[in-house]
Amino acid sequence: MTDRYCVFGHPIGHSRSPAIHAAFAEQTGEAIEYTAIEAPLDDFVGAWRAFVAAGGRGANVTVPFKEEACRLCDDLSPRARRAGAVNTLILEADGRTRGDTTDGAGLVSDLARQGVTLAGARVLVLGAGGAVRGVLEPLLAEGPATLHVANRTAEKARALAADFKDLGPVSGGGFDGVAGPYDLVINGTSASLGGELPPLPEALFAPGATAYDMMYGAEPTVFLRWAGERGARTIDGLGMLVGQAAESFFLWRGRRPDVVPVLEALRKAL
């Protein structure tokens, strides 16, 4: 019997998740069907319930529904509760819906795969939205020396840092207060989608530093181009995308797929 999964979003036609999970299923021999569903902006809960009624076993959730997905869950993982957002829905045997977030795990696993050491590093994270909120706990769990969150609205960054201060040395403020050098700078803003660059100082990167953009594309983002011109090693977010998908697949099927061949195939297809 083939089990049904999907990704919910709005819009969703651009999603690479069906191709990723099809590759995972082929690799592991798991019998699943994975589709993309554009949920109505005003009835995400109804879309999930209809999917379950039609035999759905679980789903990924992308913008703009991650916070709403969190609210509909009967149970939440500790990391999803901390993040206040869910990107993975799991239908339990008793019919209850459990929510988890795998974005942070996807980011940390990609950094490790790329040889980036977080322990003892000076880390700057740009942005204070849901994307950043979902990755702070896993980043802090790796033991950085410092982690600073910078955002256009300074108060939002400070409030976010306060929510995670029990987990490690995290601080927050505005872009105008950013002063390097940093060993790792992660762009979690949506500026790359519009070809814009957050206002950043020239002396941002330490020698041998890494710049990571959660966005990806066939060409480097404006942030990665800017960082590369200043001597940083640059990594885009495609590996994070595949990594978080692998973590979701593991939550559903109990099998952890090999990310590398799927990532290589996606990269060639960009």
What's 161's domain CATH number?
3.40.50.720
pLDDT of residue 225: 97
Same domain, 41 and 132: no
pLDDT of residue 267: 95
pLDDT of residue 270: 86
pLDDT of residue 60: 98
Catalytic residue annotation: 66
Same domain, 67 and 116: no
Same domain, 199 and 155: yes
pLDDT of residue 195: 85
Q: Which residues of the chain have pLDDT under 50?
A: none
Same domain, 223 and 111: yes
DSSP for the chain reads -PEEEEEEESS-TT--HHHHHHHHHHHHT--EEEEEEE--TT-HHHHHHHHHHTTEEEEEE-TT-HHHHHHH-SEE-HHHHHHT--SEEEE-TTS-EEEE--HHHHHHHHHHHTT---TT-EEEEE--SHHHHTTHHHHHHT--SEEEEEESSHHHHHHHHHHTGGGSSEEEEEGGG----EEEEEE-SSGGGGT------SS-EEEEEEEEES---SS--HHHHHHHHTT-EEE-THHHHHHHHHHHHHHHHS----HHHHHHHHHHH-
Binding-site residue ranges for shikimate: 15-17, 62, 87, 103, 216, 244
The one-letter amino acid at 3:
D
Q: Which domain holds residue 162?
A: 104-236
**pLDDT, tens only, 12-36:** 998 999 999 999 999 999 999 999 9
pLDDT of residue 70: 96
Q: What is the number of domains present in the chain? A: 2
Same domain, 74 and 141: no
pLDDT of residue 180: 86
Binding-site residue ranges: 15-17, 62, 87, 103, 127-131, 151-156, 214, 216, 237, 244
Please tell me the number of Cα atoms within 13 Å of 24 on its side-chain side.
28
Binding-site residue ranges for NADP(+): 127-131, 151-156, 214, 237
- Residue 131 CB neighbours (<10 A): 24
pLDDT of residue 192: 79
pLDDT of residue 154: 97
Same domain, 184 and 222: yes
Same domain, 45 and 166: no
Same domain, 165 and 79: no
pLDDT of residue 67: 92
Distances (CA, A) of 82 to 67, 170, 215, 222: 12, 15, 23, 31
